[in-house]
Copies of this chain bind each other. A is one copy, B any other.
């Protein structure tokens, strides 16, 4: 990766901390296939989060420009729709290419020492 010094191959500078947090990773994975967005309640269920947790993570993502929220009333009930932005899509895809590299590096490293890796769980890559 061009942005990293050659002597620090495992610094993973490109792993954006806003995206790397595991709840936000689930939120962005849920949203990236839904260009019309997802209702707050559906997103909450997909990610196994509480109202408070999802609100907090959506605020971080919104402040970083990765998602946008639309609030309106339907039959007098408030409905929040969450969407990934074009910028969010681009940055999430960049992040995923680094994450793929992490999995590849680590799996290669684990397999290079096969005698101590008896689990057989890694099928990669």
User: Which of B4, B29, B48 makes the CB contact (< 8 A) with A48?
Assistant: B4
Stretch at the interface among A18-26, A58-66, A73-81: A18-26
Q: Are A29 and B105 in contact (CB under 8 A)?
A: yes
Majority secondary structure, A binding face: helix
> Mask for A41-53, Cβ within 8 A of B = 1, else 0?
0000111110000
Q: Are B106 and A92 in contact (CB under 8 A)?
A: yes
Within 8 A of B (CB), among A61-106: 86, 89-90, 92-94, 96-97, 99-100, 102-103, 105-106
The answer for the CA separation of A32 and B5 in the assembled complex, in Å, is: 21
> Mask for A2-28, Cβ within 8 A of B = 1, else 0?
001101111111010100101001111
User: Which of B11, B27, B106, B116 makes the CB contact (< 8 A) with A96?
Assistant: B106
User: Which of B7, B27, B92 makes the CB contact (< 8 A) with A110?
Assistant: B92
List, in ascending order, chain B residues with CB within 8 A of A11's CB. 26, 47-49
> How many Å from the CB of A8 to the closest CB on chain B?
3
4 additional contacts, CB 8 Å, given A8-B46, A29-B102?
A: A10-B26, A89-B117, A97-B121, A100-B124
